[in-house]
Amino acid sequence: MDYYVIDVFTDKVFSGNPAGVCLLDNWLPDDVLQNIAMENNLSETAFLVKQNNHYELRYFTPTIEVNLCGHATIASAFVLFEETKKVTSEIITFKTKSEMVTVTKENGLINLDFPARPPTPCLMYPAFEKAFGIKPLGVYRCVDFLVLLDSEEALRSLEPDFLCLKQVKSEAKIDVDDFGVAVTARGSDCDFVSRFFAPNAGIDEDPVTGRAHCSLIPFWSGKLGKTRLFARQLSKRGGVLFCEDRGERVKISGTAVRYLKGKIEINKKCKNNL
């Protein structure tokens, strides 16, 4: 199968968030997909199969399948728009396990049309303070958690205890591993900054997280009184996102660049080990 690694929410390699993209003619067994993602060892590997007027799209971390992933969606669109040239229009529809997702290309940016997931206040579970060594200003939740800090400096200096952070699952009585914790603050040279941790999903820190902005955008739009926002994710690799609050939807835009192009071949010996 054709395989790409695309760095997303950046315009230069070795930054942003890398996603693997695998182009399939037909779906392989789930255990094969999971093992490929584990072998790739990226936060997400996306798998695509063409279906009539859309693409089916699935995402795997090294340990589990997740329902929605922003940067891997942009990476998939980038491959179809720029690498394979299989899409001649400037719009692609993906069928994910979460919903149908539309991606467009405009003025050098790839734009995600994702569901808005406004977070609401929730309990400040003990694991948050233990894991971060700091008392948050507030904790909110939708699909993922949102933890508010008082400054960008506090966010930059976080060194989470991931074993403690994993305890949020039991404290909050969550029965799935597909959730994460977005920690956020006002930005010094942008509207807001964030970092994203998902140790239960096999990702200690995700470099740049489109999905988290489904909640971050409506949260900060309400706080700042504006619908168009510029955001930075402050992981070691770093990334930038152009955001818009559209009510029930959010627009998440960014650039991408190819790091790698190659092929994955699953030989008979490998198949016998699955």
Q: Which residue has the tokens 């994203």?
A: 196
Residues 21 and 77 in one domain: yes
Mean pLDDT of 31-43: 96
171 is catalytic: no
Supply the mean pLDDT for the chain. 95
The number of C-alpha atoms within 13 Å of 153 and in the hemisphere containing its C-beta is 0
Residues 236 and 267 in one domain: no
Q: What is the pLDDT of residues 142-175, one digit of tens each?
A: 999 999 999 999 999 999 999 999 999 999 999 9
Residues 130 and 198 in one domain: yes
Residues 248 and 125 in one domain: yes
pLDDT of residue 218: 98
Predicted structure pTM score: 0.92
Residues 51 and 130 in one domain: no
Bridge partners of 104, per DSSP, are: 91, 111
Residues 164 and 200 in one domain: yes
Q: Which residue has the tokens 């909050």?
A: 172
Residues 82 and 170 in one domain: no
Give the range of the structural domain holding residue 185, as residue numbers without chain letter. 120-253
Helix %, strand %, coil % of the chain (to 5): 25, 40, 40
Q: 178, 64 in Cβ contact below 8 A? A: yes
From the candidates 39, 44, 129, 152, which is the catalytic residue?
Answer: 44
pLDDT of residue 270: 56
C-alpha R_g of the chain:
18
Mean pLDDT of 252-271: 87
Looking at the structure of the chain, the number of domains it has is: 2
Q: What is the pLDDT of residues 67-126, one digit of tens each?
A: 999 999 999 999 999 999 778 789 999 999 999 999 999 999 999 999 999 999 999 999
Residues 148 and 71 in one domain: no
